Chain A
């Protein structure tokens, strides 16, 4: 039972990280980056290439994954976001970026899943009466640390406050001297950096698989919806809710049901708590 809880927490942490990536970009630029899960997948594939193909030391792999995805995300913002101001067209271009990354990854590494080695040990340990891999613990702890740091940054630094200001009212922030464009670029690049750095951490669990992104994109989105768009702690909790829902239905019903159950949760949340558990409602202005 505790083993099941550990695996739920692990997979939930991955979804929470996807939701966090969505949130960082959404808060700073009001854009929903459909391709964020693909950026994370890219980080995992680069990890595979670095550790297995090039046999580089883990530190170098971290830096390489972070740097490459950082650049890819920055390019995405310049090419596919900044040139487009209409929301539905941005959706189309971000879907385009997602498709492009999917296609490129398949072209380079092939369609079958590749296993990414553990960077610590692969000996399971028993913790609170459940078996768990050290890597799983690392994922869970990392997720909490990332969310905590981002929350601190968003409240304590000028950049964080500026991002909140943009999320609240883009034009007002602009008038107060916030460089909205540079921050949007920065947020994309930062989310890319984060996605890249997480590659070696989540890779052993998720595998380097071309189908990875679509699944975690959707589950990460459900986490986001549950937590409320723009809420960092909300995304964290949402991620764990989805993780538990998935693992428990897979265990106690069968493997056909997790998607259905998570989808039903999504519909219910959108219907009855459209702003999530932590989101705020806002009045429409003319």
Chain B
């Protein structure tokens, strides 16, 4: 079922650009004038610059205004090489990309630590520096006059003709767009989209937010470096005036025009921005005013306009269908989890306070593989805080946390996730704009890795993991009963379905420890039964299950051990049979004054409200 829709999705997105690419390659042969060839080349450079920005802005959610600086880096490196005897255009491109990466990473790291406007400003600052740097190294750059004396490029010793140069530029653009397309349609693309919408979710899936953002930003520098090297060979002249603030703004405008979260949109944006200003001279005079209005309108639409409307329509359609099909959704009843290599989780003496509020005090508990360990207690008793400390979202004030023999209280959340910890959230965190199957796929990021290079170049390793991914996702969707929704937009699903989806995402990573945070709330009876069955199977497969739950009956039926939290302390621990009759639990958690009425209270308390 996924194969057909996958095919429908991939055929048009990849054939049409290919046809266009072939036509563009042949244009000079078909009699395109030299002036127009030059326009194609300039569009090509702009496409590379815009595409790099799209990777960081559209996919990683970080605005980088420094593309002109990276472009300048590439251009000056190639210019220097061309003027000093290294004329091979491939060597120049490689060197330019190397230099672009160095500049991108060095200036990206500080800005990315704080993200958003810090990166925007540090990268914008780079553009201001271009003339200064050119002046500081006048011998290499030619200062404000510009670098001259760049020899004609060669290709393995042969002089590059005009058409040869045209071909190199167009092929570079095509190769980059293919690379970009492969990257964003791979699991890395999903990781980027997950991270952009919820950094917390991303790190709980084992994705290092900082590293991923840096990677997207640094990769975005690559096409800019390539464009720079190519640009130096256009007129054999490079001067600081080319790499201006105005260029930064027009790159951004092109990105917004073509759609920042798209691969081929860069081409469309670049065409409009390249050809638009040449339409009339009055336009050139008012270009900044026009760009300003464009960015305001585009930014508003980027946030909630066009795609927002489409989403709403989509949602309406999908929810209707989802409701219609839910009744028919036949979840697999016969299934088995492969044995899970469960790890023992030990929490020892953990305390945490927020300001003057002591959220947790000296918590000690163990969770064994092949068992369900439940954590119950009234709202605000510290259950979720404890989960967040286990996940590495909060730092402990005191005490240790140990997963399978590894101390984790000082590790960061994505590192802990990579040890085999998976979780669900009290409020399901399902990114918008991705399908159910892709949500589950995002859970596969940690257990089996594929490098960016093998994903973008579609190396054998990628295909191998891709096949595993598909099989595992299909299997887990079948188990939780969501197979029929695989291609639906995930964020439009009803609450109960989203909870099941979160569980599927957690299970698909073959977790050693799984944390379920109030997974049963909002589920209907069938879904609760399904959840209970699933938890039982995970336990039987040897997984370590931590269950935070208000549904007392569910807890009693599933748990091997129950810990009761109240006001940040464990007030009771024991088997369900012990807890059911523990007087403190009855008074503090269930709010029963008369202990004798306990049994009746338990019967009544199925909704899990903590009174």
Most interface-central of B107, B110, B111 (chain A CB within 10 A):
B110
- B296 touching A93, Cβ below 8 Å: yes
Distance in Å from the Cβ of A255 to the closest Cβ of chain B? 8
Asked if A17 lies at the interface with its beta carbon under 8 angstroms from chain B, I say no
- B289 touching A104, Cβ below 8 Å: yes
Asked if B303 lies at the interface with its beta carbon under 8 angstroms from chain A, I say yes
Chain A contacts of B107 at CB under 8 A?
267
- B292 touching A98, Cβ below 8 Å: yes
**How many residues belonging to B are interface residues under a CB distance threshold of 8 Å?**
57
Asked if A102 lies at the interface with its beta carbon under 8 angstroms from chain B, I say yes
Asked if A91 lies at the interface with its beta carbon under 8 angstroms from chain B, I say yes
- A91 touching B135, Cβ below 8 Å: no
Asked if B121 lies at the interface with its beta carbon under 8 angstroms from chain A, I say yes
Asked if A248 lies at the interface with its beta carbon under 8 angstroms from chain B, I say no
Distance in Å from the Cβ of A273 to the closest Cβ of chain B? 10
Distance in Å from the Cβ of B502 to the closest Cβ of chain A? 13
- A89 touching B291, Cβ below 8 Å: no
Contact with B along A82-101 (1 / 0, CB 8 A): 01111111111101111111
Stretch in contact with the other chain, from B21-29, B61-69, B85-93, B158-166:
B61-69
- Take A83-B303, A89-B303 as given contacts and tell me if A34 and B117 are in contact as well, using a CB distance cutoff of 8 Å: yes
Asked if A113 lies at the interface with its beta carbon under 8 angstroms from chain B, I say no
- A96 touching B292, Cβ below 8 Å: yes
- B132 touching A266, Cβ below 8 Å: no
- B249 touching A95, Cβ below 8 Å: yes
Distance in Å from the Cβ of B141 to the closest Cβ of chain A? 12
- Take A214-B128, A260-B129, A260-B132 as given contacts and tell me if A267 and B113 are in contact as well, using a CB distance cutoff of 8 Å: no
- A263 touching B296, Cβ below 8 Å: no
- B129 touching A271, Cβ below 8 Å: no
Asked if A225 lies at the interface with its beta carbon under 8 angstroms from chain B, I say yes
- Take A32-B116, A96-B295 as given contacts and tell me if A267 and B393 are in contact as well, using a CB distance cutoff of 8 Å: no
Please report which residues of chain A, range 176-200, place their CB below 8 angstroms from some CB of chain B when the two chains form the complex. none
Distance in Å from the Cβ of A245 to the closest Cβ of chain B? 14
Chain B contacts of A104 at CB under 8 A?
289, 292
Asked if A256 lies at the interface with its beta carbon under 8 angstroms from chain B, I say yes
- A257 touching B132, Cβ below 8 Å: yes
Chain A contacts of B315 at CB under 8 A?
none
- B121 touching A218, Cβ below 8 Å: yes
Residue of A whose beta carbon sits closest to that of B197: A86
Q: How far is the CA of A102 from the CA of B294 in the complex (A)?
A: 14
Q: How far is the CA of A80 from the CA of B418 in the complex (A)?
A: 41
Chain B contacts of A259 at CB under 8 A?
125, 128-129, 132
Asked if A274 lies at the interface with its beta carbon under 8 angstroms from chain B, I say yes
Residue of B whose beta carbon sits closest to that of A262: B125
Asked if B338 lies at the interface with its beta carbon under 8 angstroms from chain A, I say no
Asked if A3 lies at the interface with its beta carbon under 8 angstroms from chain B, I say no
**How many residues belonging to A are interface residues under a CB distance threshold of 8 Å?**
48
Please report which residues of chain A, range 195-239, place their CB below 8 angstroms from some CB of chain B when the two chains form the complex. 214-215, 218, 221, 225, 229
Chain B contacts of A283 at CB under 8 A?
354, 394-395
- A218 touching B125, Cβ below 8 Å: yes
Residue of B whose beta carbon sits closest to that of A38: B292
Asked if B384 lies at the interface with its beta carbon under 8 angstroms from chain A, I say yes
Residue of A whose beta carbon sits closest to that of B256: A92
Asked if A103 lies at the interface with its beta carbon under 8 angstroms from chain B, I say yes
- Take A218-B125, A267-B110 as given contacts and tell me if A99 and B393 are in contact as well, using a CB distance cutoff of 8 Å: no
Asked if B148 lies at the interface with its beta carbon under 8 angstroms from chain A, I say no
Q: How far is the CA of A116 from the CA of B545 in the complex (A)?
A: 72
- B136 touching A95, Cβ below 8 Å: no
- A270 touching B111, Cβ below 8 Å: yes
- A270 touching B296, Cβ below 8 Å: no
Stretch in contact with the other chain, from B1-9, B280-288, B367-375, B439-447:
B280-288
- Take A257-B136, A259-B129, A286-B388 as given contacts and tell me if A88 and B65 are in contact as well, using a CB distance cutoff of 8 Å: no
- A79 touching B296, Cβ below 8 Å: yes
Asked if A55 lies at the interface with its beta carbon under 8 angstroms from chain B, I say no
Most interface-central of B113, B117, B129, B303 (chain A CB within 10 A):
B117
- A267 touching B303, Cβ below 8 Å: no
- B256 touching A91, Cβ below 8 Å: no
Residue of A whose beta carbon sits closest to that of B305: A83
Asked if A156 lies at the interface with its beta carbon under 8 angstroms from chain B, I say no
Asked if B299 lies at the interface with its beta carbon under 8 angstroms from chain A, I say yes
Taking A84-B303, A100-B292 as given, write out 20 further A-B residue pairs in contact, using a Cβ cutoff of 8 Å, ordered by the A residue number.
A83-B300, A83-B303, A89-B303, A91-B299, A92-B256, A92-B298, A93-B300, A96-B292, A96-B298, A97-B292, A103-B290, A221-B117, A221-B125, A229-B114, A259-B128, A259-B129, A266-B125, A267-B110, A268-B110, A286-B388
